[in-house]
Amino acid sequence: MGEDDRSLLAYLRERGVSRRTFLKFCGAITATLALPASYAPRVAAALSAAPRIPVVWLEGQDCAGNTEGFLRASHPTVAELVFDTISVNYHETIMAPAGRAAEKSLSDTVAAYPGQYIAIVEGAVPVAEGGTYCLIGGRTFRSIVEEVCNNALLTITVGSCAFDGGLPAANGGPTGATGVSSIVPRAKVVNLPGCPMNVQNLTATIVHYLTFGSLPATDSLGRPYFAYGQLVHDQCERRAHFDAGEYVQAWGDEGSRKGWCLYKMGCKGPETFANCPTVRFNDRTSWPVKAGHGCVGCTMPRFWDQMSPFYRRLSNPPGFAVDVTADQIGLGLVGVVTALSVAHGTISYVRGRSADGHEPEGELEAAVLVEAGPPAAEPVTSPPDPAGSEEGS
């Protein structure tokens, strides 16, 4: 495996990741996974020994928004990511090879690491007209997804297009766009919908696999409960204003300036399951509602059709006054629908949250071993109770 044989720990040490920062990162990821804080040492111990698993990142019908979210996580330059942080075996947007050399990188990875690499898929898969609406190197995207995902260790879809077709599958779309899961029904797939997905959730999903050897528990749509198990409305910092009947009535009005609830401006938070309010974006800086715009429900099935018009107030949100789960709301709306990333996440954490310098060689391993202690019991991965939604009105 060459350079990828190095452990994640060695890689991070070379990048100047300090003991304190690494452990803080493990604590933050543990919190994102909704695990007790006592699991942080176990996560740290697992990651310290984890190999750098090869990753291939496919792009089909997409805008590269998830790639942008990944690359912009901590404002690194593309050069830093390509030459320092990222060593993805295949990623059309950032890889150096082009043309046949690029295609060879993909085929070489699939052949050299059967069942050992992680496939990350961004974008919808068009199936109309024999899949000719998306050709890469003369092949249909569908055939590439089938080959790559069916031979992968696991597949993670990022963004709403790879989840269920997203925008290309909205009403009127001519390409027959669909999600990855329907193309490779027997593959091990976890879905991280969103427009774009949150890179913290991608990192946490991979950390969970590296730590426990399994993917996190998911709902019937393949979305991890840790990220999609609670209503946005129940985690929103404007919820007190909702409960107090304080609403923005028009853009720029007094309520808008005071940060009141955006329900009457079309916010879809009451029927959207996502952890945006707690994880946030841009290094935890903000998220749409904090920035003054209502949630558009982009983590939900067929959201372009089901959640629009985006500025029309919800009527009878199903999350109100009843016991409801992500599965129930999902079905209702549809009608019923590597370490590499870990390294990136850690380094993002370093860049975003710490000014620590290099740590003396060996201290990181020692810290992990000392603080990890004996192995803990298996995690409780049963779903949280999303029915904890409070009554809205």
For position 255 contacting ligand SF4 by CB under 6 A, the verdict is no
- Candidate ranges 37-45, 148-156, 193-201, 255-263; the one touching ligand SF4 (CB under 6 A): 255-263
Q: Among residues 269, 345, 379, 383, which is the contact residue for ligand SF4, using CB under 6 A?
A: 269
Nearer to ligand SF4 (CB atom), residue 142 or residue 238: 238
Report in angstroms how near the CB of residue 265 gets to ligand SF4 at its nearest: 8
Closest separation between CB of residue 239 and ligand SF4, Å?
Answer: 4
Estimate the share of the chain in helix, then strand, then coil, as percent rounded to the nearest 5. 45, 10, 45
Q: Which residues of 56-94 are buried (b: 16+ CB within 10 A; e: fewer)?
A: bbbbbbbbbbbbebbbbbbebeeeebbeebbbbbbbbee
40 exposure class (CB count in 10 Å sphere: 0-12, 13-18, 19+): buried
Residue of the chain from 70, 117, 263, 304 that contacts ligand SF4 (CB under 6 A): 263
The footprint of ligand SF4 on this chain (CB under 6 A) covers a number of residues equal to 15
Alpha carbon distances (Å) from 54 to 26, 109, 326, 381: 21, 8, 32, 26
Stretch that binds ligand SF4, among 58-66, 144-152, 184-192, 256-264 (CB under 6 A): 256-264
Kindly state the smallest distance separating residue 19's Cβ from ligand SF4, in Å. Answer: 38
Q: Evaluate whether 117 touches 110 at the Cβ level (below 8 Å).
A: yes
Backbone CA torsion sign across 109, 110, 116, 121:
positive
- Residue 366's H or E segment, with its range, is helix 363-372
Tell me: does residue 289 bind ligand SF4 (CB under 6 A).
Answer: yes
Nearest to 73 by CA among 197, 227, 218: 197
**If you search the block for the tokens 């939900």, which residue do you land on?**
300
* Nearer Cβ to ligand SF4 (99/252): 252
Is 262 an interacting residue with respect to ligand SF4 (CB under 6 A)?
A: yes
Minimal distance, residue 250 CB to ligand SF4, in Å: 15
Site for ligand SF4 in 201-240 (CB under 6 A): 232-233, 236, 238-239
Kindly state whether residue 110 participates in binding ligand SF4, applying the rule CB under 6 A.
no
How are beta strands 125-126 and 177-178 bridged, if at all? antiparallel
What is the C-alpha separation between 95 and 392, in angstroms, rounded? 48
270 binds ligand SF4 (CB under 6 A): yes
Does residue 267 bind ligand SF4 (CB under 6 A)? yes
Provide, rounded to whole angstroms, the least separation between the CB of residue 298 and ligand SF4.
13
Nearest residue to ligand SF4 on Cβ basis = 269
Which span sits near ligand SF4 by CB under 6 A: 15-23, 64-72, 82-90, 267-275?
267-275
Please give the C-alpha separations between residue 187 and each of 32, 120, 149, in angstroms, as whole numbers: 25, 13, 6
The phi and psi torsions of 304 (rounded to 5 degrees) equal -65, -35
Kindly state the smallest distance separating residue 352's Cβ from ligand SF4, in Å: 25
Instruction: Work out whether 106 is an interface residue with ligand SF4 (CB under 6 A).
Output: no
Among 261, 339, 347, 364, binds ligand SF4 (CB under 6 A): 261
Question: How many other C-beta atoms are found inside a 10 Å radius of the C-beta of residue 31?
Answer: 17
Q: Does 295 bind ligand SF4 (CB under 6 A)?
A: yes
The DSSP secondary-structure symbol of 61 reads: B
| Residues forming the site for ligand SF4 (CB under 6 A) | 232-233, 236, 238-239, 242, 261-263, 267, 269-270, 289, 294-295
